[in-house]
Amino acid sequence: MTKLENDTFIRALLRQPVDYTPVWMMRQAGRYLPEYNQTRARAGNFLSLCKNPDFATEVTLQPLARFSLDAAILFSDILTIPDAMGLGLYFADGEGPRFERPLREEWEIRSLIVPDPDTHLRYVTDAVRQIRKALNNQVPLIGFSGSPFTLACYMVEGAGSSEFRQIKTMLYARPDLLHHILGVTAQAVTAYLNAQIEAGAQAVMIFDSWGGALSHAAYQEFSLRYMNQILDGLKREHDGNRIPNILFTKGGGLWLESIMASGCDAIGLDWTIDIGEARRRTQDKVALQGNLDPAVLFSSPEVIAAEAGKILASYGHGHGHVFNLGHGISQFTPPENALALIEAVHAQSVHYHTDGKG
């Protein structure tokens, strides 16, 4: 059993007593840091950065060298699984991720297979092992994956989308094909996350970035259903330690009760829902992660501290809160403003854990 020097993040996810509210930031290793941009330039491109465990380790650790964060998150990309399925991932300058072979034909969809994470995604598990060693048990390491529906959006559309025309056409016209994609992808995500856990990830997060684009009924059938399947197959303990999990549906505030019923340990929240209301609706049965609007970090340290304070006050006294942004940090964020946020959360949150009301 491995003992962490700082296990505040893990204890918060498990709703155990903590001395302060832990904080990390989605996309905390990214383009807002000049040292990240320097490493990326040395790697040559984004995919080379992801697929080289040495580079992935280096950029994972960069924000921890700057900030007193309570967790590290594996540097990777959510599209590693469809890439391993043979869809041909590439990144066009200024256009984001694209696939050379998006899923449009039935024979292509029926031919999908679950990639072996120990073979096709070995560079990820190697990075996890290397990062764990480099962290030296200072803070926990988070592993992650995209949700089946979010991955399917890219796999069918071939790129990011604002209308989701291709996948929504399939959803309503040929739901059997979409269910096949989602079923295979759910198996792949389960195997992938379990491989990350076996390699050393101490918590895992599922990013359902596009689930909020669905109708109420479609969300239940095409997104949450498959995340439930993943949770059913996920390792909950490894090496004598509990491995907590987080489900994050951007735009998912309408469905908190359904998400909670999945059996997840924590729900990630975007900035469109009040965290105090989310806590009341979930009745302290799950931890909550979130949920500052990332745009707040474009303001001043004083405003950042005030806005962070509003979220801490809304959550209130007690445990089970991991402070985070409501989505990824922007590449245009001044690093000193990220520091202001982390310091504000650590300083202001002590009050909510040490005054006898926790």
The residues that are catalytic are 27, 31, 40, 77, 154
Could you give the CA distance from residue 172 to residue 175 in angstroms, rounded to a whole number?
A: 6
Return the residue matching tokens 């049965």. Answer: 285
Q: What are the backbone angles phi and psi of residue 12, rounded to the nearest 5°? A: -65, -40
Token pair, residue 177, equals 């094909």
Helix extents (H) in 31-159: 34-43, 46-51, 53-66, 80-84, 106-110, 122-135, 148-157
DSSP state of 328: P
DSSP state of 220: I
Report CA-CA distances (Å) from 316 to 2, 6, 88, 276, 308: 31, 23, 47, 7, 12
CB atoms within 10 A of CB 231: 18
Report CA-CA distances (Å) from 81 to 88, 114, 150: 11, 9, 12
Do residues 203 and 244 touch, judged by C-beta distance below 8 A? yes
Beta bridge partners of 146: 207
Could you give the CA distance from residue 141 to residue 150 in angstroms, rounded to a whole number?
A: 23
Could you give the CA distance from residue 140 to residue 225 in angstroms, rounded to a whole number?
A: 29
To 5 degrees, how large is the angle CA 148–CA 151–CA 156? 115
Could you give the CA distance from residue 306 to residue 291 in angstroms, rounded to a whole number?
A: 14
Nearest Cα to Cα of residue 186 among 134, 237, 150? 150
Beta bridge partners of 241: 238
CB atoms within 10 A of CB 319: 18
